[in-house]
């Protein structure tokens, strides 16, 4: 969907300032939010989690820190699934009026669960439409739901560098409409194709794009 979260290529937001050798978390609560998200029942659908953060109102999204967005999205998903109540969120304590459920993840199982191999790659019978070296164009679409196709590349032409096999399609999976596995490609776009003649002629951007985002150019 279009929103303030899709900032690629936009001016006026200031420079990107990498934090060299910074700690993983700026404060203890950020680490707790990270752990809560990984342990949450909602973690089974990473695409739905991303979409939930996209639904944060623009003004709030811009003022929030990274893990404030994570926490806001996590709480919203837990409330939607009736995993917690409004009172439990507000007080941080179990609501006596709410039935006590079996914990989603017990402490003894954390290591095994978090180190278990997982992949969004799937098998499909259809042959890929594109091969490395093909010229493709990203579709100029403006979906109201979740997508991994950034605005700055829509309508632009690039070259397929490789394909990764078929993977779960976020556009479908985020909304509970099934995995809809689709071929995934790495596509190289010249910087001048994206940003115009003032861009460095030697620069390019590689994007991982699903087949349904592309057409032959």
- Ordered domains of the chain (ranges, CATH): 28-115 (1.10.472), 121-216 (2.30.30.50)
Per-residue pLDDT 10s for the chain (217 aa) are 899 999 888 888 888 888 888 899 999 999 999 999 988 888 889 999 999 999 999 999 999 999 999 999 999 999 999 888 999 999 988 888 887 777 778 889 888 988 888 899 999 999 999 999 999 999 999 999 999 999 999 999 999 999 999 999 999 999 999 999 999 999 999 999 999 999 999 999 999 999 999 999 9
Contact (Cβ atoms closer than 8 angstroms) between residue 140 and residue 64:
no
Q: How far is CA 118 from CA 44, 115, 121, 128, 176, in A?
A: 11, 9, 9, 23, 19
* DSSP alpha helix (H) spans, the chain: 28-39, 46-54, 58-63, 66-80, 86-91, 110-115, 170-173, 191-195
Tokens representing 125? 């019978």
Residue 3's pLDDT is what?
92
Tokens representing 90? 């507000």
Torsion of CA 206, 209, 213, 215, to 10 degrees: 60
Contact (Cβ atoms closer than 8 angstroms) between residue 169 and residue 179:
yes
Contacts of 210 (CB under 8 A, 6+ apart): 148, 149, 167, 169, 170, 171, 182, 183, 184, 185
Residue 103's pLDDT is what?
76
Q: What is the pTM of this model?
A: 0.90
**Run of H or E residues at 164:** strand 157-167
β 214-216/204-210 pair status: unpaired
Residue 54's pLDDT is what?
96
């Amino acid at each position: 969907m279009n929103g303030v979260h899709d900032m690629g290529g936009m001016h006026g937001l200031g420079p990107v300032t990498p934090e060299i050798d910074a700690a993983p978390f700026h404060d203890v609560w950020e680490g707790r939010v990270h752990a809560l998200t990984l342990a949450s029942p909602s973690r089974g659908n990473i695409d739905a989690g991303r979409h939930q953060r996209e639904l944060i109102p623009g003004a709030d999204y811009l003022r929030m820190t990274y893990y404030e967005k994570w926490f806001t999205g996590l709480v919203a998903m837990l409330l939607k699934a009736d995993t917690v109540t409004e009172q439990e969120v507000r007080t941080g304590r179990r609501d006596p009026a709410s039935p006590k459920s079996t914990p989603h993840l017990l402490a003894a199982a954390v290591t095994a669960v978090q180190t278990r191999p997982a992949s969004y790659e799937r098998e499909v019978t259809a042959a890929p439409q594109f091969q490395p070296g093909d010229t493709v164009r990203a579709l100029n679409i403006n979906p109201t739901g979740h997508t991994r196709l950034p605005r700055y590349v829509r309508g632009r032409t690039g070259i397929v560098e490789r394909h990764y096999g078929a993977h779960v399609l976020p556009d479908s999976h985020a909304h509970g409409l099934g995995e809809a596995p689709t071929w995934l490609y790495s596509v190289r776009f010249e910087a001048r194709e994206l940003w115009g003649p003032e861009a460095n002629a030697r620069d390019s951007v590689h994007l991982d794009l699903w087949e349904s985002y592309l057409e032959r150019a």
